[in-house]
Every structure is written in structure tokens, then in C-alpha cells.
Copies of this chain bind each other. A is one copy, B any other.
Amino acid sequence: MKLTLQEIAKLIDATLSGDSSKEISGINTLIDADSNQISYAVSKKYKESLIDSGAGAVIVDKKLIKHCTTNTLLVENVYLAYSILTHKFKQQQNINHLQAVSMRIKAYNNVTIAPGCIIGKNVTIGENTSIGSNCVIEDDVIIGINSIIESNVTIQKGCQVGKKCVISSGAIIGSEGFGNARDKNGQWHSIAHLGSVFIGDDVSIGANTTIDRGSIANTEIHSGVKIDNLVHIAHNVIIGRDTAIAAKTGIAGTTVIGKRCMIGGMVGIVGHLTIADDVIVNATSTVNRNITKPGIYTGFVPLMLHSEWKKVGLWITKLDKIATLLKIKLKNIK
């Protein structure tokens, strides 16, 4: 897919400054974009990246236009414009490519495919790997040798799974990330996710776990990672080698987790965080900040009789007022 800047300007309702016939073949970040790609900047935080960007064009609003050094597309709502453009560059799975008969697989020796599987074009499955019943493997998926894909698994377009992996039943690899731009009427416009999911070697993924594809770059699950059931891993998350994640945990977008971490069950990790190597987080905690040092971390309310909790719960919500009443200041108790 190629679009001229003139075509893009029309599509996203932008004022174009620069070469209207310039052809753009993709979207990338300010840092990684080359001269055939377009990028965008949503806040002043990206000023330096904007100045240094090698992108062929950038989408900006009036706050940032003065820092542009290339072709510019001036819009009111940059993220909304970006969301519209993503759909143009998204390579959707063409469901006509999917076939119940799996004759097109570049299969090596001893690949076993159970009944009911639906397989796309240009799929590569390594030696000794088995695909369980009723799986859907979309176009361009690569699965390494000695892996086990259990039944009812969905691996979406272009995702990569390494060697000696186990993907349990019901897991969804490569679902669209949850990203939506809001317009001035409060309506949401989905971002098409152009990245994929990359899974290293010796990884296990639990039953009914979901791993979203990245927005531009990939979501990455590094080698040796063990993930339990019903875990959610959002777009652009990176999980370092040999980290283990127990059931029902959720990791929001763009968070990076270090190596050899142990994340307990039902932990909520908010987005855009960095977690150091060798961190342990106990079950049901909320990780609401970066963790820069190895250690064991926890945060939840211990279980009480409901009759006790009813009294205690009220006081929890008044803690700052109690401190004021008692004239206790944070600086005194650091």
C-alpha cells in the first residue's frame, strides 16, 4: 500500500505543507521512521524526537508545527488522524485465504495437524510441532520446531512462536490491541494495530490467555517465559526472559517487565511502566508505579470479617483527615 501525502491529507482532513506527490508506504514512530514512512507527534514531550526524525512526513497540531523539519500534515486531533490512517496500512487477514485443508503449509518432517484446523497462506510450522483440533492459524504465522499448539487456539496474522513452546487451549495470540482515538463528540475511533506478537523459545501460554499485537512495533514475550491461564497482555508489552506470570494477571499497554520476575495471580499492572529484573509481585496487588529494584512487592487489603471491614473501610477513606486532625505531617514520618 502506498499513498501520496495529498491522498493522506484528504483522508485525515489535514493542511499539507511540503511535497504533495511524495509517496508514503507505512507508519512508524518518530525515532524509527524512514523517509518512506509517516509519523506523528501528540504532545510537546516528543519535541526533540520530532526535530531529529527521519520520517518522510509528520502529522502534528499547531502547537508542534514549528518544530517540524520535514513535510507536515497539520490537523486538530493528531491521534484521531493517526487512527484513521492506521486502517489504510493494516494488512487484514483475508478470510478467503483460510482453508480447512492444510496443504499449503511449508511443513517440515513430522508436523501433525489435528482435524478441524483452519490454516492460512504462507504459514510455516517447524519439525515435530503439533497443532491441536479446531485451531485457527492465520496467514504468515511462523511456529518453530518441537512446539505444541493445543486445541481451539487462535494465532492471528503474522504472529511468530518460537521453538519448544506450549500454547494451551483457547489462547488468542495476536488480537487487536485496545487503542481508540476520541473525537470532539466523545466517539471512539479504533487504531488498527500494525505490529504483531513475537514469542521466543520455551515459552508456555495458558488456557484462554490473550496476547494483543503491537500498535507499530511488536508485543514481545521473550524466551523461557511461563504464562498461566486467563492472563491479558496488552499491546506493546515486553516480558523479559524467564519471567513467570500466574493466572488472571493483566498487564496494560507498553509496560516492560524485566527478566526472571515472578508475578502472582490476579495482579494488575498499569500501562507504560518499567519493572526491573528479579522482581516478585504478590497475588492480587496493583502495580501502579515503576519498580526499579529487585525485591518482593505487595499491596492489597487483608481479609476481615465483613462486620469489621464495614467499620475499617470507612476509616480508610478518612485517613488524610485523621492525619490532619492529629496534626501528623508526611514529612515527620518519612
Is the pair A187, B330 in contact by a Cβ cutoff of 8 Å? no
> In the complex, A270 Cα to B291 Cα: how many Å?
23
Is the pair A330, B301 in contact by a Cβ cutoff of 8 Å? no
Tell me the minimal C-beta distance from A250 to chain B in angstroms: 4
Q: Which of B132, B154, B229, B280 contacts A169 (CB 8 A)?
A: B154
Indicate if A46 sits at the interface (CB-CB under 8 A): no
Is the pair B175, A152 in contact by a Cβ cutoff of 8 Å? no
Is the pair B320, A312 in contact by a Cβ cutoff of 8 Å? yes
Is the pair B168, A169 in contact by a Cβ cutoff of 8 Å? no
Interface string of A234-265 (1 = CB under 8 A from B): 10000000101011101010000001100001
Chain B residues, CB < 8 A from A318: 312, 330, 333
Indicate if A61 sits at the interface (CB-CB under 8 A): no
Is the pair A302, B288 in contact by a Cβ cutoff of 8 Å? yes
Chain B residues, CB < 8 A from A306: 280, 282, 295-298
Q: Which of B204, B302, B316 contacts A314 (CB 8 A)?
A: B302
Interface of chain A residues 168 through 224 with chain B (CB within 8 A):
168-170, 172, 175-176, 178, 180, 186-188, 190, 202, 204, 206-208, 210, 212, 224
Interface string of A280-324 (1 = CB under 8 A from B): 111111111101000111111111111111111111111111111
| Known contacts A284-B268, A306-B295; A190/B204 CB under 8 A | yes
Chain B residues, CB < 8 A from A112: 95-96
| Known contacts A260-B186, A304-B297, A305-B297; A132/B175 CB under 8 A | no
Is the pair A319, B325 in contact by a Cβ cutoff of 8 Å? no
By size class, the interface of chain A is: 35 or more
| Known contacts A130-B95, A178-B229, A252-B265; A330/B305 CB under 8 A | no
Q: Smallest CB-CB separation from A153: which chain B residue?
A: B152
Indicate if A23 sits at the interface (CB-CB under 8 A): no
Q: Smallest CB-CB separation from A130: which chain B residue?
A: B95
29 A-B residue pairs with Cβ-Cβ distance under 8 Å, sorted by A, are: A95-B112, A95-B130, A95-B131, A98-B114, A98-B132, A100-B116, A115-B118, A116-B136, A136-B151, A136-B152, A169-B175, A170-B208, A175-B206, A175-B207, A178-B229, A178-B246, A210-B230, A232-B265, A247-B250, A268-B283, A284-B286, A287-B303, A288-B302, A296-B307, A297-B309, A298-B310, A299-B303, A316-B319, A326-B328
User: What are the 7 tightest A-B residue pairs by CB atom distance, in nearest-first order?
Assistant: A118-B133, A175-B207, A315-B319, A311-B320, A296-B306, A268-B284, A298-B309
